[in-house]
Structure 1
Amino acid sequence: MDTDPGNDTNSWLVWHDLDNAAVGMPQIHANLSKNSSIPSVHGGALWADNVNYRLFLFGGEFYSDNPTTSSMMSYDIWYDQWDDFGPPAAGIQRVSYGASTSVMERGEGYYYGGYLSNASMPDWNGPPRATSNLVRYKMDGNLWTKLAGPDDIRRAEGVMTFIPASDGGMLVYFGGVQDPDRNGTMIPQPMDQIFIYDIISNKWHVQEANGTIPEHRRKFCAGAVWSKDRSSYNIYLNAGLGFGGPGFDDVYVLSLPSFTWIKIYPLDRNGTGQYPSHSLSCNIVNEGSQMLTIGGSFPNDSTCDYEQVWGVHNVDLGNRIKGNFQKVWAEYIPTLFGYKVPGLVTSVIGGTKDGSATKMTPDAGFADHDIGILLGMKAVFPARTRANDGRTAPATGTVSKTPGSKSGPSGGAIIGIAVGGSVVLLSLLVGLWLLIRKRKRKPNAQPVAPTEPLVPTPHILPFSPYHSTQSPDSGQYMSPRTREGDGEVPVHNRDWRSASASSPPSEMDGQDLRIAELDVEN
């Protein structure tokens, strides 16, 4: 790979087996269906539905070709096939590099901001333009809603996470870029300005954060976890592209409801670490014990980032894998579950590893009294019912892991799926999303030639999507990413990899103003 360090399009649909960490990280597989009719994009969203066993691909930019479709595609995890759900409702435009998150408890996907461009929309003319709206997709019923953002400022390249606070959950957004004059001139979105959206009341709030504020950044990633008693919600941030310079190699925690930024890596120096990166994904796994960071671009280097594990790294969220939390990076432990608040966080917000935080307000108080009330509530979600879509659950079973196996993720496996996009060295996957801890085995079926078009089927959802069955930009390079431990670990011990770890992906043979709420059912 080092002999050909160029950019190529990743056309695979891949997943990680969280029960298998033989090389120190979850084993990657690329044996799921994705033929040429399914777009390979970057900067899109992949919303997860763990009740109906589906993934929904929304937005994103086509890597090299002009946009070929406006439809939202859905991957059927049970049957390893793609369904065409048609274009979104009127007024919902295909965007890229916005902030997205899934709320599986509610069966909803959200997307805030992002760019409109001729790389994401078939009929777009003119330069890229950021947007200011929040899009909601209800998976139970295929309902699209365009909602107002916190203001009419266009934004992109930030992050949004979900926390189970208030009556029905809240969304938290920060970072990225903004276009306050609405003229295409993008400036940094301040990292101490935190936007929170209350889902039930459909109301935005803004709060100023305190603590060790991260430098302005975009194209970073973050994941949210919370203490057992929900006295603190802790959002872990990693990496990002700066405004001048190569970017960042660091980890921060934004703790709510105190809105306190806490730097947890690196601690032996001011500023950032030695391996800045951006355009990666953060994936909370195993009930909040760990966060897998996957893919990304490394501006300072031209060599592959840990090709043995295909660019996957692990953040020890609760300081449970090693005793010294000054080095947050660790090998992945499949049997470690549950979040514990680490000492570097409790030393600031009070409490214990299980909760009981004592710092419950920002330093200057809440900008709005309602913010404190909402964050003090614990959301309760009714159980969702699987859609009556004519699909029946495949029989369960143990899937063989032999090299020639065509089976997908087995029971006990979690899925991290990448749907195309720009990748480097055909090894590091940009933008993987994690879905569920269990998946039923798919039935044995004859593979269909890759050129098979999308064809209608009578048994899909009531709103009649179509399906296609099985068939086999940042422009930067990847770098080595051996994590340093703030000087306490000898150089020859910094690499967590097994000396014999050299495992390729297995089973590769498969080869502008506020807008009123508008619900539209297709």
Structure 2
Amino acid sequence: MWAARKMGILYTGFAGTSPHFGDQAFSPQGLWSFERTSPLEGSWQCLNGSTDGWFTSQPRPYQGQADSGHGYGFFLGGISSPRRGPRYAPSLTSWPVGNSTRDQRKTGVFVMYDMPNRKITDLANFGPSGRGAPNNAGIVYVPNWGDRGILVAVGGSQDRREGNDGLATFQTVRIYDVDTQRWYEQQSTGDIPEPRKDFCMAGSPSNSRTHEILVYAGWAGQLGPSAVPYDSAYVLTLPGFYWAKADYSPAHPRHGLSCNAVGGSQILTIGGVDTTQDGNDSYAAGFTTRDPFLQGLAIFDLGTLAWSSAYRAERSLQPAAPKFKEYYNAQ
């Protein structure tokens, strides 16, 4: 989803495919909005007749990441879906007939949607180092720097020739300046996460004029006991580009989850697939165990670099974690 916070509107429908299992329900291609009309009610609206024609003329992308801020929605990475087979929604725009449908998919998707003006900028195949945007990477919008903020992108998979399922190093942090529409790369230090994909990522400012970003869970493409170490949480602090790892013993790895900033330096994690489960049906095996988090929800505190026992409503921004204070004081 994209959120237009000042307008009180959510947008969806711009990415995704039908499920791999179940009744393979799908929604027609396009863009929808949900606007809250009262604290307890809201209404849906299909915007296909009033917004940019890109949403219905171009194949709908998937396996990318979305975020929003400053009146813009962003979608980075992933590939565009061909109209092929029951795995994909039949309403998706088809690709031209050729020798290989898979080879014709557009990769490195990167689009920016101007919400007030309902215009989209298709920046496909633009990306750091000129290689295009990675798949299954993490992105987060950070308003602190630049006239219109920046996007921070890490991880994901891009080139299998690099080994380890083509997973990108977290030592390189990719920065997109929304105002100049230019990519930059910055080397990071500290406890750098192991390469992974399908992790979750969200950030929040501190009251110390820094911005901390959580990277949690994910996997390297292998199911089973070897995935347990990916039950780990790392936090990147900006502007220092310094990583710190949360201190806890891994036990319950997961991938395909979401992270959401919910105020007061708190990050809410939701759901995920149990990466330790390996069975005949690789899509469904991860759903056979009970989530150790109550209702599949957990709160990570960026101020303490630790999991919290409860969510605190209306909590103010917290100071940067002591480990980050030590780092900045030493510079």
Render the CA deviation track for 1:440-477: whole Å, top value 9, x for unaligned: xxxxxxxxxxxxxxxxxxxxxxxxxxxxxxxxxxxxxx
Counterpart check, 1:282 vs 2:259: yes
C-alpha displacement at 1:175, in angstroms? Answer: 0.5
1:136 and 1:293 map into 2 onto residues whose CA distance is 25
In 1: Cα distance, 2:112 partner to 2:239 partner = 25
Q: Give the drift of 1:92.
A: 4.6
**Could you say if the C-alpha distance between residues 145 and 153 of structure 1 is closer, same or farther in structure 2, counting changes exceeding 3 Å?**
closer
Say if 2:6 is the partner of 1:54: no
Contact residue 258 and residue 271 of structure 2 kept, 8 A: yes
Using the aligned pairs only, state the percent identity.
28
Deviation, structure 1 residue 226: 2.2
Q: Is the 8 A contact 1:48 1:102 kept in 2?
A: yes
Counterpart of 2:283 in structure 1 is none
Structure 1 residues 298, 203: CA separation in 2 closer, same or farther (over 3 Å shift)? same
Matched, 1:143 2:123: no
* SS of equivalent to 2:269: strand
Structure 2 residue identity aligned to 1:132: G
Tell me the amino acid that sits aligned with residue 298 of structure 2.
H
CA distance in 2 between partners of 1:141 and 1:346 (Å): 41
Instruction: Specify whether residues 214 and 310 from structure 1 end up closer, same or farther in structure 2 by C-alpha distance, changes over 3 A only.
Output: same
Residue 81 of structure 2 is aligned to residue 117 of structure 1: yes
**In the alignment, which residue of structure 2 is the partner of 1:174?**
154
Given that 1:163 and 1:170 are in contact with CA atoms closer than 8 Å, whether structure 2 keeps it comes out as yes
Corresponding residue for residue 305 of structure 1 = 291
1:99 matched to which residue of 2?
65
2:173 to 190, 194, 206: 194
What's the TM-score, normalizing by structure 2? 0.79
Higher strand share: 2
Q: Is the 8 A contact 2:167 2:220 kept in 1?
A: no
Using the size of structure 1 for normalisation, the TM-score is 0.51
Deviation (angstroms), 1:303: 2.5
Between the two proteins, the alignment pairs up a number of residues equal to: 288
Distance in 2 between residues matched to 1:234 and 1:224, nearest whole Å: 5
Alignment of 1:103-252 (within 5 A): 103=69, 106-118=70-82, 119=88, 121-124=92-95, 126-127=101-102, 129=105, 131-147=107-123, 148-150=126-128, 151-164=130-143, 165-179=145-159, 187-230=166-209, 232-244=210-222, 245-246=226-227, 248-252=230-234
Instruction: Give the Cα separation in 2 of the matches to 1:116 and 1:133.
Output: 8
Give the structure with the higher percent helix.
Answer: 2
2:46 to 72, 77, 84: 84
Q: Letter of the aligned partner of 1:71 in structure 2?
A: G
Task: Tell me, yes or no, if the aligned pair for 2:191 and 2:243 is still in contact at 8 Å.
Answer: yes
Note the residue ranges of structure 2 that are not aligned, 5 or more in a row.
83-87, 278-287
Q: Which amino acid aligns with 1:345?
A: F
Q: Which has the higher contact order (CA 8 A, sep 6+)?
A: 1
Change in 2 beyond 3 A, CA 1:345/1:197: same
Instruction: Quote the Cα distance in structure 2 between the aligned partners of 1:239 and 1:265.
Output: 14
Other structure's SS at 2:74 match: strand
CA distance in 2, matches of 1:222, 1:146: 23
Maintained 8 Å contact 1:69/1:122: no
Residues 130, 155 of structure 1: 8 Å contact kept: no
Distance 1:80 1:66 in 2: 23
Match of 1:344 in 2: 323
